[in-house]
Amino acid sequence: MSSTLIIPNDAARRLILARACLAERPQAGSHTLAPLVERLGYVQLDTIRVVERAHHHILFARRPRHRPHHLDRLQAKEPVLFEHWTHDASLIPLQFYPHWHHRFAQAKKRAALWRERFGHHKVVDTVRAHIEANGPARARDFAHLGSRTGPWWGWGPAKAALEFLWRTGELAVLKRDGFEKIYDLSDRVVARSLRDQRPSRADTIAWACAEAMDRLGAATPRMLADFWGHASIADTARWIATEKKRGRLIDVVLQGAAGRKGLVAAARPDIEAALEMLPEPTSRLRVLSPFDPVLRDRTRAERIFGFDYRIEVFVPAHKRKYGYYVFPLLEGARFVGRVDMKADRAKDRLAVKKLWFEQRLGPSRARRAKLEAELARQAKLADVAEIVLPNSALVSRF
């Protein structure tokens, strides 16, 4: 019986950062964005724009010359990305599209629920016919079909119909204007060669597990299930067990940070060789999105990095520990703090409200210089000229 490989905490951190594309030096050039998204697997979308929206922060942390219009081109003009659901709404490499047919089928099975909530089958036919005849459209183009009175996020019947057709694969999101979706027929957006591929569910589960494992480095069944959202934990546990029997996976333990429990996981048999080749993470200080891939699994972040992070958007203001939308700060292979800041575009400035450093860390001269350089980069992303960082905000520690 083979023994379990123990991966020391420093190596576990380097592994996670490397697979999340945060170990290498940030690269320049918009032409590197598509390969980056493929390496990550997808980029999560989010509506909140405190400095910039989450998907742009995710890319900017790795490609500091990234600007929002670069991503628009990859989705709408080339295109090499499509929008749909993983664990949340995401931009996904277009070559992965065939594996979303099962998501489309699952959505169609829930058609009765949509009809019950919106009574929308006639509206669906009307919306579909309009787009077939007239081309791309958005929800506002169907205002005459009903107001925003639906029970889900204030959706009206037309918006619900558009979302139903999109989630079932009949429509695709051609692009976004600001954050408003513009829909068109999938037949006109996605190549027929991709639309016609029909991998079996077993093939899609195997694909999802293997691709997630390669992007995580080491994973539990839950991590694999959560990555794409295609498979259940039972599915991923069976896949891991089968791959172990075939000698394609081994047991590992990612050693936890000081005082934290480690993670029992599975990894490829060549994991030791992969660990020896890992780059040393750049010492640059970076602001990360709360939805960054390295942080999405809060349990992993807490155990391996010793960083207890929760986004408090949905926490009542009087119960928040930090703030509405607070950004984590990554320096090298550790999280050193968090910052509450906002782009005030009316005043053309980036306003830092408060800054927290982790225990036993503080604003040394070197760290302060790194922070100031990163805030200057964030101001460029937000397209504002001034940075306001009052002394009262600079050294807030817990």
Residue 394 has pLDDT above 50, yes or no: no
pLDDT band per the 50, 70, 90 thresholds, residue 72: confident
What average pLDDT does this structure show over 157-176? 92
Name which residue leads in pLDDT, 2 or 292: 292
Which band of pLDDT confidence, cut at 50, 70 and 90, is reported for residue 393? low
pLDDT at 40: 97
* Residue 39, both tokens: 């390496």
pLDDT digits (tens, 9 = 90+) for 298-338: 999 999 999 999 999 999 999 999 999 999 999 999 999 99
pLDDT, residue 391, reads 66
The pLDDT-based confidence of 389 (bands split at 50, 70, 90) is confident
Q: What is the pLDDT of residue 70?
A: 86
pLDDT at site 146: 56
Show the 3-state SS of the chain: CCCCEEECHHHHHHHHHHHCCCCCCCCCCHHHHHHHHHHHCCEECCCCCCCCCHHHHHHHCCCCCCCHHHHHHHHHHCCCEEEEECCCEEEEEHHHHHHHHHHHHHHHHCHHHHHHHHCCHHHHHHHHHHHHHHCCECHHHHHHHCCCCCCCCCCCHHHHHHHHHHHCCCEEEEEEECCEEEEEEHHHHCCHHHHCCCCCHHHHHHHHHHHHHHHHCEECHHHHHHHHCCCCHHHHHHHHHHHHHCCCCEEEEECCCCCCCCEEEEECCCHHHHHHCCCCCCCCEEECCCCCHHHHCHHHHHHHHCCCCCCCCCCCHHHCCCCCCCEEEEECCEEEEEEEEEEECCCCEEEEEEEEECCCCCCCHHHHHHHHHHHHHHHHHHCCCEEECCHHHHCEEC
Query: What are the distances in angstroms from CA 102 to CA 107, 109, 231, 391?
Result: 9, 11, 10, 54
Query: Tell me: the pLDDT tens digits for 187-209?
Result: 999 999 999 999 999 999 999 99
Model confidence at 29, pLDDT cuts 50, 70, 90, reads low
The answer, yes or no, to whether residue 353 has pLDDT greater than 60, is: yes
* pLDDT of amino acid 74: 81
The pLDDT of residue 397 is above 80: no
In the predicted model, what is the mean pLDDT of the chain?
A: 90
pLDDT tops 50 at residue 345: yes
Residue 118 confidence (pLDDT): 58
Predicted confidence at residue 3, as pLDDT, reads 85
pLDDT category at 135 given cuts 50, 70, 90 is: very high
* For range 357-365, the mean pLDDT: 85
Q: Which residues lie closer than 8 Å to 285 by C-beta, 6 or more apart? A: 329, 330, 331, 336, 367, 370, 371, 373, 374
- pLDDT value at position 338? 95
pLDDT, residue 149, reads: 45
Q: Which segment of 40-49, 87-96, 110-119, 254-263 scores lowest on mean pLDDT?
A: 110-119
Q: How confident is the model at residue 398 (pLDDT cuts 50, 70, 90)?
A: very low
Among 77-91, 114-128, 188-202, name the most confident range: 188-202
1, pLDDT greater than 90: no
pLDDT above 80: residue 156: no
Asked if the model's pLDDT at residue 147 lies above 60, the reply is no
Confidence tier at 395 by pLDDT (50, 70, 90): very low
